[in-house]
């Protein structure tokens, strides 16, 4: 590649060198590079961009070198953080019950329980902030307030990204898209409003409420039903021993106890499979709506 003559040229070459990588990794790499380049440019305002970039290519690295280093470090971090998976079972029965050894299934189930309170917060923040931004747009404080609101939404997207990455295992950005602080507020606001990720993030936060209701309801209902079915033989035993009065517990006839217990086991493991599947779908949705996809 030729030596970049501007920051935009450097970033374009870096994006090309990272082609095929995870979009979240590309977003983080572009942020780090642009932040470093603009900081160097601010420290040397009297040096032409092409001269400064020629120096940086020797110290910070050429775009291809930076891309290679970034991908290598990302691979090392992912290998270090990757949860050890149990050996795959060969039989269908082993695969069904083997979900009990998958930490991602439990993390996804916990995410489903957290989905309702976080969804309520995201939805309320988005609707209230959008309404106030539109209502104040006729005043002089309208644009600064809207820019501040969009900034908080971007910050919240990082919080949601941490939850998605830790609980669902989907790589998410660790940094928001770069915003040059040296540019006037109006230009920065225009850039944020023109960014499709701003609107897709708002859409994601609005969707998180109905999705949160569905996830929370499924998790509570299925877990409670599973535990209730599994507890039937125990409750029967407690009534037989006199620990519970028969009138306090309403149980089906005794021959159904093994069937109820078996149904509880199947439903419990099926719930873990469902949670793991929902986690993958939710992670893909978050990646599609919260991450700036490369052109």
Examine the domain organization and report whether 46 and 140 are in the same domain. Answer: no
Examine the domain organization and report whether 115 and 40 are in the same domain. Answer: no
Residue 93 maps to a domain? no
Examine the domain organization and report whether 69 and 198 are in the same domain. Answer: no
Provide the pLDDT for residue 295.
Answer: 60
Examine the domain organization and report whether 131 and 68 are in the same domain. Answer: no
Examine the domain organization and report whether 59 and 108 are in the same domain. Answer: no
**Which residue range forms the structural domain that includes residue 286?**
99-290
Q: What angle do CA 71, 49, 185 make, to 5 degrees?
A: 85
In which band, very low, low, confident or very high, does the pLDDT at 236 lie, cut at 50, 70 and 90? low
Provide the pLDDT for residue 111.
Answer: 96
Examine the domain organization and report whether 110 and 77 are in the same domain. Answer: no
C-beta separation of 215 from 115 below 8 A: yes
Instruction: Give the 3-state secondary structure of residue 127.
Output: helix
Residues 6+ apart with CB under 8 A from 203: 289
The answer to pTM > 0.85 is no
Q: Which of 162-166, 217-221, 237-241 has the lowest mean pLDDT?
A: 237-241
Examine the domain organization and report whether 30 and 149 are in the same domain. Answer: no
94-105 mean pLDDT: 86
Query: Does the pLDDT at position 235 exceed 70?
Result: no
Report CA dihedral (161, 165, 170, 171) to the nearest 10 degrees: 80
C-beta separation of 231 from 265 below 8 A: no
Structural domain ending residue among the three candidates 21, 48, 81 = 81
Examine the domain organization and report whether 199 and 284 are in the same domain. Answer: yes
87-103 mean pLDDT: 80
Instruction: Give the 3-state secondary structure of residue 163.
Output: helix
In which band, very low, low, confident or very high, does the pLDDT at 37 lie, cut at 50, 70 and 90? confident
Examine the domain organization and report whether 200 and 59 are in the same domain. Answer: no
20 conformational bin, left if phi > 0, alpha if psi -120 to 50, beta if neither:
left
Residue 15 maps to a domain? yes
In which band, very low, low, confident or very high, does the pLDDT at 16 lie, cut at 50, 70 and 90? confident
C-beta separation of 277 from 111 below 8 A: no
In which band, very low, low, confident or very high, does the pLDDT at 210 lie, cut at 50, 70 and 90? very high
Domain count, the chain: 2
Examine the domain organization and report whether 256 and 169 are in the same domain. Answer: yes
């Amino acid at each position: 590649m030729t030596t970049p003559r501007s920051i935009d040229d450097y970033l374009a070459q870096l994006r090309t060198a990272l082609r095929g990588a995870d979009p979240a990794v590309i977003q983080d790499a572009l942020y780090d590079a642009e932040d470093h380049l603009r900081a160097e440019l601010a420290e040397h305002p009297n040096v032409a961009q092409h001269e400064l970039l020629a120096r940086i290519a020797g110290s910070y690295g050429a775009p291809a070198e930076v891309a290679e280093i970034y991908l290598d470090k990302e691979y090392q971090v992912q290998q270090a953080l990757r949860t050890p998976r149990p050996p795959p079972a060969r039989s269908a029965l082993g695969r069904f019950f083997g979900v009990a050894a998958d930490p991602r299934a439990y993390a996804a189930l916990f995410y489903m329980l957290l989905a309702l309170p976080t969804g309520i917060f995201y939805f309320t923040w988005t609707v209230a902030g959008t309404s106030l931004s539109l209502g104040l747009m006729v005043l002089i404080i309208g644009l600064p307030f809207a820019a501040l609101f969009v900034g908080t939404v971007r910050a919240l997207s990082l919080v949601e990204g941490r939850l998605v990455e830790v609980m669902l295992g989907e790589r998410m950005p660790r940094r928001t898209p770069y915003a040059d602080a040296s540019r006037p507020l109006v230009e920065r606001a225009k850039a944020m409003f023109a960014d499709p990720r701003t609107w897709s993030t708002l859409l994601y936060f609005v969707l998180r409420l109905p999705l949160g209701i569905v996830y929370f309801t499924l998790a509570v209902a299925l877990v409670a039903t599973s535990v209730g079915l599994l507890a039937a033989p125990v409750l029967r035993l407690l009534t037989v021993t006199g620990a519970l009065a028969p009138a306090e517990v309403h149980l089906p006839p005794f021959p159904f106890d093994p069937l109820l217990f078996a149904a509880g086991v199947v439903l419990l493991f099926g719930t873990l499979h469902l949670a793991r599947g929902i986690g993958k779908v939710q992670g893909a949705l978050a990646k599609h709506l919260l991450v700036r996809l490369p052109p």
